Amino acid sequence: MLRRRLSRLCAGEEKRVGTRTVVVGHRPVLETDAYVAQKFCDNRIVSSKYTLWNFLPKNLFEQFRRIANFYFLIIFLVQVIVDTPTSPVTSGLPLFFVITVTAIKQGYEDWLRHRADNEVNKSNVFIVENAKQVQKESEKIKVGDIVEVKADETFPCDLIFLASSSIDGTCYVTTASLDGESNFKTHYAVRDTTVLCTDEAIDALTATIECEQPQPDLYKFVGRIIIYRSNQEPVARSLGPENLLLKGATLKNTKKIYGVAVYTGMETKMALNYQGKSQKRSAVEKSINAFLIVYLCILLSKATVCTTLKYVWQSNPFNDEPWYNEKTKKERDTFKVLRMFTDFLSFMVLFNFIIPVSMYVTVEMQKFLGSFFISWDKEMYDEEIKEGALVNTSDLNEELGQVEYVFTDKTGTLTENSMEFIECCIDGHKYKDCLSEVDGFSQTDGPLKYGKAEKSREELFLRALCLCHTVQIKEADQVDGLIGHPERKYSYISSSPDEIALVKGAEKYGFTFLGLENDFMKIRNQKNETEMYQLLHVLNFDPVRRRMSVIVRTTTGKLLLFCKGADSSIFPRVQQEEIQQTKVHVDRNAMDGYRTLCVAFKELTQKEYDKIDRQLNEAKMALQDREEKMAKVFEDAEADMHLIGATAVEDRLQEQSAETIEALHAAGMKVWVLTGDKMETAKSTCYACRLFQTSTELLELTAKTVGESERKEDRLHELLMEYHKKLIQDVPKNRGGLKRSWTLSQEYGLIIDGSTLSLILNPSQDSSSSNYKNIFLQICLKCTAVLCCRMAPLQKAQIVRMVKNTKGSPITLSIGDGANDVSMILEAHVGIGIKGKEGRQASRNSDYAVPKFKHLRKLLLAHGHLYYVRIAHLVQYFFYKNLCFILPQFLYQFFCGFSQQPLYDAAYLTMYNICFTSLPILAYSLLEQHISIDMLTSDPQLYMKVSDNAMLQWRPFLYWTFLGAFEGLVFFFGVYFLFQNSSLEDNGKIFGNWTFGTIVFTVLVFTVTLKLALDTRFWTWMNHFVIWGSLAFYVFFSFFWGGVIWPFLKQQRMYFVFAHMLTSVSTWLAIILLIFISLFPEILLIVLKNIKEKNHQVTKRLPSSGTSTIFMLSQTSSNHSFSWSE
């Protein structure tokens, strides 16, 4: 019976998939005895990754997926199983240290998430049960519960809005925690439940809700509510995003509301939105992996050489089994192949320190700690919004120093997104100043007709501006003393700054919007009379239609549709003869850089309106493809309109956006502007912000140049070939010169629009256009600047992807401020969000967020440059110091019969990477400034010196490798020659092999640490402390190890070795001499470089220590501050 009623109610509804049915208040509908309740998840939010039970196994599994960690685990197991020359502790302890540090960091981060979850889950909420309010914990809410929320409380789950304390069933909500928009949004209760504003009334409601399954889009919701009343047919009403109150949003200016829970816990839109962005990896990590493979090959070859030479050496019976060391029976019976294999593994273990396991943990710490400098930077703090820069992903810091392509949005990124009404035109007449009865407010515009439009047309136009929008009125709070003021003070709130500008523009000309009350829009006209219009339907704006409409009924019963939108979407829908006179104005305003909108209207007959009303209600009831069905109805309703006029609104350029773009160009970056705006408007903005210079030759691929005819694909082909010839074939090949020298003798700029781009990217099957994309890409890459206008959000991402995947995989950066920029921000290697006026979706989905476009200059040219130099040096230095460390161990095997005898004591093997050499390089990689920050920001060309991953190419890598090999040879053979006379003391006492190893190790530690001191250009107290402190700690530890705790050790081979060693004068002399010889090539290079720089009179180093740059870290009461000062 019920099913029959419903099918009558929702005729033509297709078979639904992926919907859920919610029983309001768990009150069963009379005739559904067979109804089986669906199982839904509870309202617990879980953003944490681990629990107490799975933390250890899950965290270890994740860490051992890293190649270096897994490799060291294997080495450790080999040491435990096979009889190897070094103790398992030597590789086990560093591995344990790295794993523990990482686990503690991840565990702490997860504990913070647990704590935040508990705060939300344990908060108190009120639920209506049996006509009474029951207090419960938030996590106990079930789908179907009726929840009461009071003013300034946040919604505990996604609710369908049933009733509120206001009579008209509206409430105001801010969604700042979801999308950053701090303006009030109006939500509407279901029409039939607005009167149920007490606990008893709402508890008596019998209804079911059918809606789509949870999905993450904050702005989409499709559903319907069916209300059952005794002895009456059920009533079905459509539900959309305006009826859905989202978890995390806050109730404002409304005493209380009732809502029914439809999505709870991890199925709320907020939870679905916070589940992961794709992991971005930096180019530096790829370089590290390549270098690791080289070092792994070195390790394998060393082990192979030693194993082979061992068996060559043992082929002499005397060497294999000398009289003082006879083999046991077990050793004689072992298979030779097995023996060779275990020997190979032993050598692998002996030399395994060439692979730096601690580098990974140092890199992690460098990225994590280094990212604070961006958020502490005072110059990137914005007084207006009281916020600074924000780092969402510290993994990409060094990528900021490698950017080749910058893709930027226009509105709100290059411009301020604060709109000001400039002028309008009505029937071809331009209106610029305020309306006065004396002189009118019309001006002639060029070759157009004189005079002004008819009074009725002026009023119709201004009424359209007052009625066609979604602006809300917020009354300003009454202040004592102002109560008797005759004029009530309003402020307008809207999700779009354009709309407020237009309403204020109409007010300037005498028509004031007074607000919406009980579905009636009130406006005050020029004669100070109040007019009422019943609002019947709002046909909402969307980026695809690029227009919005309202249908209203006047007090005389006339039905009017008002529509405003972009000229490209309005002109095809109005009478063709009306277009020309307005088009001239629109084009001229666009050339001046103003944002233009056209306004049209249509009078509806009752019959036409009934048809639209019926179709809209049917489309709204659909659970499947609701958007497509609505779009079709909108399309039909907005046909055959009459054009009234157009508006021009100015969006001012952000301060310093032109200087920033010039600096990025000078730094060798290509800037592309991707916008949804009109070509003319975008073009004039590009000239204003110096993306295009006056000398730039513009190449156009737009609907205007390609044409609308059948032959447009052929015309496109002709244009592409012409531009290709001009830019690529006719240009002489660039011979060497500067890196990134794309700047030809003549600068070219390209302009393309969305429709032409879709022709290029998605060509029709029969056209010979498969290679359009390649030709287009070649043209783009040769242009200094590219402007893409009329872009849909998805096309923005397509363009970024296209450039990202070109040969050489250039590093791309996207910057934008609105929801329409999220797709390109996620697509680029580095995504930057601007904390703008279009909400915070962009900054929430970005890797970095900055308050203004101008901050991009310092972020890339200073921070990015320095981060890259620091981490590149860190990586090269780690490989270098480990090669210096392990090469003497390899050479030692030639002098000990390849017996796998270690050169260094186990304590030194273990502590070398953890304690003796780790802190100086960490401090260097956080604080080094080889060039001052002021110099980096003022001279953008310095950015090109480190571009294309210059410091991590094979050439510098080989230089560091040869340097490590040279120093390793000096350490070993220098000490070897010292030991030619094995009696180094006057008393004839002989030094042993542990002394030999300790001298080598001492020279090693001092040399690699002093090498870093030579590389440091920017000294702070911290550098001094860690460099000299590390050396002092090494000396102290060596005395302590051999002289204090030796009785507690298993082997006492290091007993007073270090102290005895230092009693010999020749040892002192050898250590100092060998350190000097090792560092001599480096010192020589620095001297030669300085002479060369003086000759060129270009000093790009920091001032001398007398005027050194001071590094200040301070914490004020209000915020972290960070400044560099001379």
Active site residues: 409
Encoded tokens for 697: 């030759």
Give, in degrees to the nearest 5, the angle at Cα 404 between 398 and 406.
100
- The CA distance from 583 to 203, in Å, is 58
283-313 helix and 336-351 helix, angle to the nearest 10 degrees = 130
| Interior angle at CA 495, CA 494 and CA 499, nearest 5 | 60
- How open is the CA angle 440-443-448, to the nearest 5 degrees? 130
Q: Which amino acid is at 563?
A: C
Buried b (16+ CB within 10 A) or exposed e, 248-275: bbbbeebebbbbbbbbbbbbbbbbebbe
- Distance separating alpha carbons of residues 1095 and 1100, to the nearest angstrom: 13
How far apart CA 455 and CA 442 sit, in angstroms, is 11
Rounded to whole angstroms, the Cα distance separating 408 from 853 reads 9
**φ/ψ (deg, to 5) at 602:** -155, 135
Q: Which backbone phi and psi does 345 adopt, to 5 degrees? A: -60, -40
Burial label, 771 (beta-carbon count in 10 A; 0-12, 13-18, 19+) = exposed
* Residue 150: strand, helix, or coil: strand
The DSSP code for 525 is -
Q: Could you say which DSSP state residue 833 is in?
A: E
SS3 of residue 322 by DSSP: coil
Classify each residue of 533-554 as buried b or exposed e, where b means 16 or more C-beta atoms within 10 Å of its C-beta.
beebbebbbeeebbbbbbbbbe
Please check whether residue 398 is in contact with residue 909, taking contact to mean a CB–CB distance below 8 angstroms.
no
Answer for the pair 830, 399: CB distance below 8 angstroms, yes or no.
yes
Eight-state DSSP code of residue 557? -
Exposed/middle/buried for residue 374 (C-beta within 10 Å: 0-12, 13-18, 19+): buried
- For residue 632, list its beta bridge partners: none
- Tokens describing residue 1089: 């470089």
769, 731 Cβ separation under 8 angstroms: no
Question: For strand 405-408 and strand 670-674, is the pairing parallel, antiparallel, or unpaired?
Answer: parallel
Angle at 134 between CA 129 and CA 140, to 5 degrees: 90
| Both structure tokens of 721 | 């070939």
CA nearest 597: which of 524, 554, 651? 651
Query: Residues 6 or more apart from 120 whose CB is under 8 A from it?
Result: 45, 138
d(CA 392, CA 404): 22
Structure tokens at 257: 């509301």
Rounded Cα gap, residues 835 and 416, in angstroms? 11
Angle made by CA atoms 1072, 1078, 1082, in degrees to the nearest 5 = 120
CA–CA distance, 668 with 690 (Å, rounded to integer): 15
Length of the chain: 1126
Distance CA 201, CA 199 (A): 6
What's CA 726's distance to the chain center, in Å? 37
